[in-house]
Amino acid sequence: MKLKVIVTPKAAVLDPQGAAVRDAMQHLGMPEVRSVRIGKYLEIELDGDEPGMESRLHRICRDLLSNPVIEDYELKTMSEGGA
Amino acid sequence: MKLKVIVTPKAAVLDPQGAAVRDAMQHLGMPEVRSVRIGKYLEIELDGDEPGMESRLHRICRDLLSNPVIEDYELKTMSEGGA
């Protein structure tokens, strides 16, 4: 079983890293860039697929992989073999 | 126009951050975790949609957003309004 987790800063939270990348992109010949927001991307491989695993995964996303005060996360199952 | 860029470490490259998260997940009640790989996730908003923009974006992905020696990137167009 393969999962991906995307952790992004909440819309109301400043993202200085994203602002720096936006400015750099504008200077590197892309003045059309309006905004950039940067988050984390995790690919997780698991053995097995038990019931109850999903809720344990959500708990780990909240407790370990994201900071729920300033970040949102998205948990998706990836098709085997897909990217 | 909204894009997302996912930058991941190449398969042959060690990912110590991913290994640390894998160990932490195993200790936090998920012994089924086999591997974790961590990358970057970028959401980019652009004004307009000119021809030639795609090739400029790929150049910026290579030059600014990823290190092609150790990382791969994936550039995707997001549907407006979608997440």
Domains and their CATH numbers in chain B? 2-78 (3.30.1280.10)
CA distances from A56 to A70, B28, B39, B43 (A): 21, 9, 22, 28
Is the Cβ pair B21, A74 closer than 8 Å? Answer: no
Kindly list the residues from chain A whose CB atom is less than 8 angstroms away from the CB atom of residue B45.
33-36
Three-state DSSP state, A72: strand
pTM of the model: 0.88
Which chain B residues touch A34 with a CB distance below 8 Å? 45-47
pLDDT reported for residue B80: 59
By Cβ distance, the residue of A46, A50, A65 closest to B34 is A46
What's chain A's average pLDDT? 91
Residue of chain A whose alpha carbon sits nearest to that of B47: A32
Rounded Cα gap, residues B1 and B79, in angstroms: 8
Mean pLDDT of chain B, nearest integer: 91
Please state the ipTM of this predicted complex: 0.88
> Model confidence over A23-47: pLDDT tens digits?
999 999 899 999 999 999 999 999 9
Chain B residues bordering chain A (beta-carbon distance below 8 Å): 6-8, 18, 21, 24-25, 28-30, 32-48, 50, 53, 56-57, 60, 63-65, 74, 83
Tens digits of per-residue pLDDT, B16-32? 999 999 999 999 989 99
Does B15 have pLDDT greater than 80? yes
